[in-house]
Structure 1
Amino acid sequence: MFGIYYERKITLELWQLYDSVGNETGKIIEANSEIPEGLYHKTVSVWIKNKKEQYLMSKRSPEKQYAYCWECTGGSVQAGENTWEAACREVYEELGIDISSLTGKKLISKKRKEQKDFYDVWIVYGEFGLHELSPNKTEVIDVKWMDMKEILLLNQYGYLHPLLDYVDVNFFKEEIK
């Protein structure tokens, strides 16, 4: 049932706007519109981790900003969603898997002034074979399970999405708690 919800095409994505402390303003704008000064929208990332201590990573398509960078799945929260719902939707849209029945844990919640967003980072534990995925080719050109060392090397050499600037050894230590 959850997957059916995601299969509907949304022709117009809308973002709810928030004030500087995270209160809803009642203002809604079209996705990717310029966010007015002093206002923010919400974004999410979700790390999917398996029993082998690997994380499901995707490589961005050449048409996207930060082309060919590796990343965990993420995107903007649409008006009417909470950040967990947005995380589930983004994973389904980008990778074709439904994580809504799994338990997510919020690892990070912060305001990023430069991006004009409130950013939540989630982790979910799940086992998915790469054959079970159906990546959205307009967003993702490759998918791979990677361990912490591989991800840190990607970061060191500039192949990790630059907005994942919090990824370091301490991030992975905190996630384990």
Structure 2
Amino acid sequence: MEVWDLVDATRKPMNKLHTRGEELSPEEFHVVVEIYTINADGRMLVTRRAANKTFPLLWESTGGSVHAGESSLEGAVRELAEETGIVVVASELRYLGERPKGKSFLDSYLFKSTTPIEINELTLQPGEVCDAKWVFLEELEEMHRSGHIVPPVWERYQVVLEDLKAVGLK
């Protein structure tokens, strides 16, 4: 059972808890994180959504809801470890910004690995992630043209693309 802290439309804590799957009232929101991971060679990590999820078997970046009692940054560290097995400390993540996203606030983070990470070193979370690969920007764009990227995720990529290129996405 996943439990979230609720915030209002201005992101002020409401001091209320919410269980995932229950309907949120119009004034209730929660915080979600996404993590863009760039490997030492300039490729970005994309993960494939499990078949039982919305947008089944499409590719995206790592992310998920922040749990009750966690900060956004703590949630990002946890989500990266849970979904991929990549363990980082908070200081290794760079905050890219916040955007409203439906009933949530989406915080974006960037992790740039200084040492190569091989796909076979990853531990994918069953029920969430069924595959992963490292891609260069050109491959990512082709995946989008072929309809293999989650559409809202592609829109978010466009917002952070210059940040990703600045740290070495090739």
Shorter-chain TM range is: 0.7 to 0.9
Report the residue type matching 2:39 in the other structure.
N
- Report Cα offsets for 1:78-133 as digits up to 9, x if no partner: 11111111111112211122122651111131122xx2101011001113211211
For residue 156 of structure 2, the aligned residue among 157, 166, 175 is: 166
Q: Tell me the equivalent position of 1:121.
A: 108
Count of aligned residue pairs for this structure pair:
163
- Report Cα offsets for 1:17-65 as digits up to 9, x if no partner: 1111110011111123211112210001001101221111111111111
Secondary structure at the aligned position of 2:156 is classed as coil
Q: Which moved more, 1:84-93 or 1:117-126?
A: 84-93
User: Separation in 2 of the partners of 1:79 and 1:99?
Assistant: 20
Secondary structure at the aligned position of 2:157 is classed as coil
Q: Tell me the equivalent position of 2:55.
A: 66
Q: Tell me the equivalent position of 1:157.
A: 146
Contact 2:74 2:90 in 1 (8 A): no
1:171 Cα deviation (Å)? 3.0
Segments of structure 1 that go 5 or more residues without pairing to the other structure are 1-11
Q: Which moved more, 1:67-76 or 1:84-93?
A: 84-93
Q: Which moved more, 1:67-76 or 1:49-58?
A: 49-58
Q: Tell me the equivalent position of 1:9.
A: none
The percentage of counterpart residues that share the same residue type is 27
Q: Scaled by the length of structure 2, what TM-score is found? A: 0.88
Report the residue type matching 2:139 in the other structure.
E
Contact 2:49 2:56 in 1 (8 A): yes
* RMSD, aligned α-carbons: 1.7
Segments of structure 2 that go 5 or more residues without pairing to the other structure are none
Q: Scaled by the length of structure 1, what TM-score is found? A: 0.85
Contact 1:94 1:139 in 2 (8 A): yes
Q: Tell me the equivalent position of 2:45.
A: 56
Contact 2:36 2:61 in 1 (8 A): yes
Contact 1:102 1:124 in 2 (8 A): no
Contact 1:60 1:67 in 2 (8 A): yes
Report the residue type matching 2:145 in the other structure.
Q
**Aligned CA distance change for structure 1 residues 102 and 24 (closer, same or farther; 3 Å):** closer
